[in-house]
Amino acid sequence: MEWNVPKFPLDAISDDVLGWLTDHGSWLTRAVSRNISDWIDSFTTALVSLPPWICIGIATLVSYRIGGRKIGVLTLAGLLFLWNLRLWQSTVETLVLVTLATVVALVIGIPVGICCALSRRAWRLFSPLLDMMQTLPSFVYLIPALPFFGLGAVSACFATIVFSVPPVIRLTALGIRGVPTELVEASDAFGGSAAQKLFKVQLPLALPTIMAGVNQTMMLALSMVVIAAMIGAGGLGREVWQSIQRLEAGAGFEAGIGIVIVAVILDRVTQALAARARPHGTA
């Protein structure tokens, strides 16, 4: 039996809103897209032009200084293996996109998280939006990116930023709200200003939780960059997508292993950063 209640025209409303935004704002987003695309291409070209062993050596040294010998050896072995698989350029492209998207997501997310922690009204405003952002399928974020930025890496970055920003907002707010009340009251008792209380008490104590948010944001960014290969993003995701189109199971497996290696390295390094941020004497 058919339901005779008229259908709510959500699809038409969405098309109209997206069309209006595209007509009135695409001139700005396309200009931004060209500049960001040039930056991505220049940075990727500069890294690829270096001998891979130099980049691997620097990455290994950084990982060793952050996480110790085990993470340094993991980074060295993983990147050497990717070089051996002839996936070095794709790996660099993926890392550039993930780094850019993560940095922008943190620049947006941490201040919003601080605002949500300090203002109940802001939290009530952003909480439903964050719930929706984390519930929508990742493929949906690719739809609005195309009209504004066109095919390519910039659309991938835009979709990745929107997809990966909720965890750092939530965990920043959670970390600040989890600071013991006694310490906040002690800061007030000593006459500390709101800024002093935030930057000298709340943020330092919330830093381990914030770093957990950084970890989750980076992992989501990596997963989205891989999916964004469908709209022209490069990197390891493109290798997987092309292997699916060509039914090349072996090449797809190689690229998939490459993504796993990059994910494990980034995860271990950010976890080590979170451990270093944890105050001494805490578990």
b/e 214-235 (16+ beta carbons within 10 angstroms → b)? bbbbbbbbbbbbbbbbebbbbb
Predicted local confidence at residue 236, as pLDDT: 83
8 secondary structure, DSSP code? P
Is 243 part of any domain?
yes
> Is 259 within the bounds of a domain?
yes
Residue 152 resides in a domain? yes
**Residue 15 domain-assigned (yes or no):** no
Q: What is the pLDDT of residue 101?
A: 87
Q: Please tell me whether residue 74 adopts helix, strand or coil conformation.
A: helix
* Ranges in the chain, pLDDT < 70: 1-4, 25-26, 277-283
Q: Give the number of other CB atoms < 10 A from CB of residue 75.
A: 25
Q: Is residue 6 part of a domain?
A: no
Please identify which residue in the block is written with the tokens 């935030």.
Answer: 198
Decide if 13 is inside a domain.
Answer: no
- Cβ burial, residue 195 (10 Å; 0-12/13-18/19+): exposed
Is 4 domain-assigned?
Answer: no
What is the pLDDT at residue 81?
A: 93
pLDDT tens figures, 20-79: 777 776 677 777 777 777 788 888 888 888 899 999 999 999 999 988 889 999 999 999
Q: Tell me if 72 is assigned to some domain.
A: yes
Six-digit token pair at 86?
A: 């002839």
Residue 213 belongs to a domain with what CATH number? Answer: 1.10.3720.10
Instruction: Count up the domains in the chain and report the number.
Output: 1
Q: Which structural domain, as residue segments, surrounds residue 71?
A: 21-277
> So what's the pLDDT on residue 59?
92
pLDDT at 279: 60
pLDDT the model gives residue 281: 45
What pLDDT, on the 0 to 100 scale, is given for residue 280? 54
Q: How far apart are CA 195 and CA 209, in angstroms?
A: 20
Residue 283 is predicted with a pLDDT of 45
